[in-house]
Structure 1
Amino acid sequence: MMGRKSLLILVVLLVAFMTACGNNGNNAAETPNDNASPAETAVQLSGNIEIDGSSTVFPITEAVAEEYKAVQPDVKPTVGVSGTGGGFKRFCAGETAMSNASRPIKDSEAELCKEAGVEYTELKVAFDGLSVITSKDNDFIDHLTVEELTKIFSAESTAKTWKEVRDTFPAEPIIIFSPGADSGTFDYFNEEILDKKGVRKDATFSEDDNTLVTGVAGSKTAIAFFGFAYYEENQDKLKVIPIDGGKGAITPTFDTIKDGSYAPLSRPLYVYVSKKEYERAEVKDFVKFYMDQAKALVGEVGYIPLPDDAYATEQAKL
């Protein structure tokens, strides 16, 4: 028969054992997996993440930010639209953690980052096609060649009416809307189509693609260019123009942009991440979440996802 002293010792040992088990269980729940991002664990983060740049990339990053709020409600990603060039100015000044870009960073911008000690990682997130668009009411343009685009948009062009672009077009004035000079879309079009001569001065410029949509939709003789996703979003009031880059007129679609046949107006889209900012737990977690969710969300907002192996390559940079 067990004595009172022996029974007391047994009870103490049992309580100690149960307490140890309980502590071990709690530690396992609170200690995140080193191989998982905090978004995949019970760790809750907080803080602000400043993002700026391309209006073209904005819908992708904004979609990611909205989804991320459900995972980490105390992290506040703020996404601005100052244009690719404007975004890089802030990024290289150390004002933002990430920069959306519809073109690669320029040498001059990279030098500014270097001078300010801002190191970064470039991540490709999607494909896009620059769409040349007119109003739904336009009934005379069935396609345009690259040479005709130059006549319409170039700062060196003297064409004032559509008839000066093609004899079969009406003698109506050409009304032009264009992204602003800080836009990566402007830079890409300027380089690929206009031989870096710039857009004519009598155009209406705006960094806001919605302003371009409204302007073109309201005039039968107006024309503009911007990202494919904005055309898709507004195709009820816009007409997209097939472009002949030398191999016949090609209409921008999901497939023609992805396979590159919509040339020369297909392009990749990027985000740039400050390496210093990436050391913050909330920034690291957000960026990992971004790259994990990019394929699904890119398609939802009207852009063309990269192949799976391409996303794996981009993620490996982190």
Structure 2
Amino acid sequence: MTDDSTSGRVSRRKFLAASGTVGAIGLAGCTQSGDNGGQSEGLSGTIDIAGSSTVFPLATAMAERFQSEHSGVNINIQSTGSGGGFANHFCPGRTDFNNASRPIQSEEEEVCSGNDVAPVELTVATDALTVVVNDEADWVDCMTVEELRQIWSAENPPSMWSDVNSDWPDEPLELYGPTDASGTYDYFIEAILGEEGPGHRQDYSATEQDRTIIQGVEGSENAIGYLGFAYYTENQDRVKALGIDDGDGCVEPSLETARAGEYTPLSRPLFTYAKQESLAEEHVAEFARFWIENATSQEIVADEVGYVPLNDSDQQEAMDALEAAIEEAQG
């Protein structure tokens, strides 16, 4: 993964494409606009963020807008995977936030605690984890949870499509997915394979870059992969999303089905974790407030990025947790 950076405002299409080949993005030097007002005027400093590739486009959209109002703040965002961010950046105390597509694990909390890092969990959106196949795979439009489990399980993993369903072709399965540093990988195990199950098969093309999953599936009629919904929506002219049958019929991934709780078991909350100690710095606290204040935005979260915004109740819960952490950090 490359740690090149780019400056200024970038479009959603550009930063989604860039995140496939560029592991980090630096957003600096935006033109200041609007009235900052109040205690936030004149904010300056650096904010470092690592973690989930799934949350990366949402974090970037929020950072762009925040810096358009606060040109003295530089926000550096790396797409490292949820686990990679916790292990290599956040818990060692090197970043102010860690984006995550699954909750922090107890062993990660222990590492954070050992380094005097107190994580503050903030829910920022809901995702519909999406299973994709090649556009030419006309034999499948929907897949049961059990079929998904068979394909990806480490126990007697099938080699051919027909090994899973006799109506499917006698052609080799080609699998693409995230690495074990990804929260998407962890969530897929929890939702599909089961935490007490045999685990995730390892004979697949694993990558930290969602763009590589799209490229792999697009390039072979026999390919299948999974990734966050935002990356599918940006590339829905290149691959086909499968509906998922969890026992009550086939449900396609969409903002509407995820919001309604119908797209099961692959709809999931997305998080950012703030380092409480960093919230003592006003520019960090104000960015965290800005993100949660805008987490209900249909325009940003849904229309621009492709996730389900928070409802008012979830937003208030996140804001209460944030304000309590800020008060403790600055008290």
The answer to whether the superposition gives a TM-score over 0.5 is yes
Rate the CA distance shift 1:38–1:145 in 2: closer, same or farther, 3 A: same
1:288-303 pair list within 5 angstroms: 288-296=289-297, 297-299=300-302, 300-303=304-307
TM-score (norm 1): 0.86
Displacement after TM superposition at 1:281 (Å): 1.1
Rate the CA distance shift 1:177–1:39 in 2: closer, same or farther, 3 A: farther
Rate the CA distance shift 1:145–1:53 in 2: closer, same or farther, 3 A: same
Aligned to 1:115: 114
Q: Say if 1:51 and 1:98, in contact at 8 Å, map to a contact too.
A: yes
Rate the CA distance shift 1:75–1:179 in 2: closer, same or farther, 3 A: same
Q: Say if 1:130 and 1:265, in contact at 8 Å, map to a contact too.
A: yes
Q: Say if 2:40 and 2:283, in contact at 8 Å, map to a contact too.
A: no
Rate the CA distance shift 1:42–1:153 in 2: closer, same or farther, 3 A: closer
The answer on 1:165 being equivalent to 2:164 is: yes
Q: Say if 2:36 and 2:69, in contact at 8 Å, map to a contact too.
A: no
Aligned to 2:94: 95
The answer on 1:57 being equivalent to 2:55 is: yes
1:260 partner amino acid: G
Q: 1:92-147, CA deviations, whole angstroms, 9 ceiling, x for partnerless residues?
A: 11110000000000011111111111112110000001100011111111211111
Aligned to 2:144: 145
Q: 1:169-208, CA deviations, whole angstroms, 9 ceiling, x for partnerless residues?
A: 0000000001000000000001211124333222000011
The answer on 1:310 being equivalent to 2:314 is: yes
Displacement after TM superposition at 1:295 (Å): 2.2
Aligned to 2:252: 251
Report runs of 4+ in structure 1 exceeding 6 Å deviation: none
Displacement after TM superposition at 1:303 (Å): 0.5
SS of structure 1 residue aligned to 2:295 = helix
The answer on 1:198 being equivalent to 2:231 is: no
Aligned to 1:72: 70
Q: Aligned partners of 1:129, 1:183: CA distance in 2, in Å?
A: 16
Q: 1:206-249, CA deviations, whole angstroms, 9 ceiling, x for partnerless residues?
A: 01101101110111110001111111110001101011111111
Moved more, 308-317 or 41-50: 41-50
Question: Greater CA radius of gyration, 1 or 2?
Answer: 1
SS of structure 1 residue aligned to 2:111 = helix
Q: Aligned partners of 1:39, 1:273: CA distance in 2, in Å?
A: 24
| Structure 2: 5+ residue stretches without partners | 1-34, 323-331
SS of structure 2 residue aligned to 1:295 = coil
Aligned to 2:283: 282
Aligned to 2:328: none
Q: Say if 2:143 and 2:245, in contact at 8 Å, map to a contact too.
A: yes
Report the RMSD for the aligned CA atoms in angstroms: 1.5
Rate the CA distance shift 1:152–1:42 in 2: closer, same or farther, 3 A: closer
2:42 partner amino acid: Q
Displacement after TM superposition at 1:42 (Å): 6.6
Displacement after TM superposition at 1:152 (Å): 0.9
SS of structure 1 residue aligned to 2:296 = helix
Q: Aligned partners of 1:71, 1:181: CA distance in 2, in Å?
A: 37
Moved more, 99-108 or 37-46: 37-46
Q: Aligned partners of 1:243, 1:158: CA distance in 2, in Å?
A: 20
Displacement after TM superposition at 1:289 (Å): 1.1
Q: Say if 1:54 and 1:82, in contact at 8 Å, map to a contact too.
A: yes
Q: Say if 1:142 and 1:242, in contact at 8 Å, map to a contact too.
A: yes
Moved more, 143-152 or 181-190: 143-152
Q: Say if 2:50 and 2:85, in contact at 8 Å, map to a contact too.
A: yes
Aligned to 2:183: 184
Give the percent of matched residue pairs that are identical in Structure 1 and Structure 2.
42
Aligned to 1:210: 211
Q: Say if 1:216 and 1:223, in contact at 8 Å, map to a contact too.
A: yes
Q: Say if 1:38 and 1:285, in contact at 8 Å, map to a contact too.
A: no
Q: Say if 1:39 and 1:71, in contact at 8 Å, map to a contact too.
A: no
Moved more, 294-303 or 79-88: 294-303
Q: Say if 1:177 and 1:203, in contact at 8 Å, map to a contact too.
A: yes
Q: Say if 1:130 and 1:266, in contact at 8 Å, map to a contact too.
A: yes
Q: Aligned partners of 2:38, 2:226: CA distance in 1, in Å?
A: 40
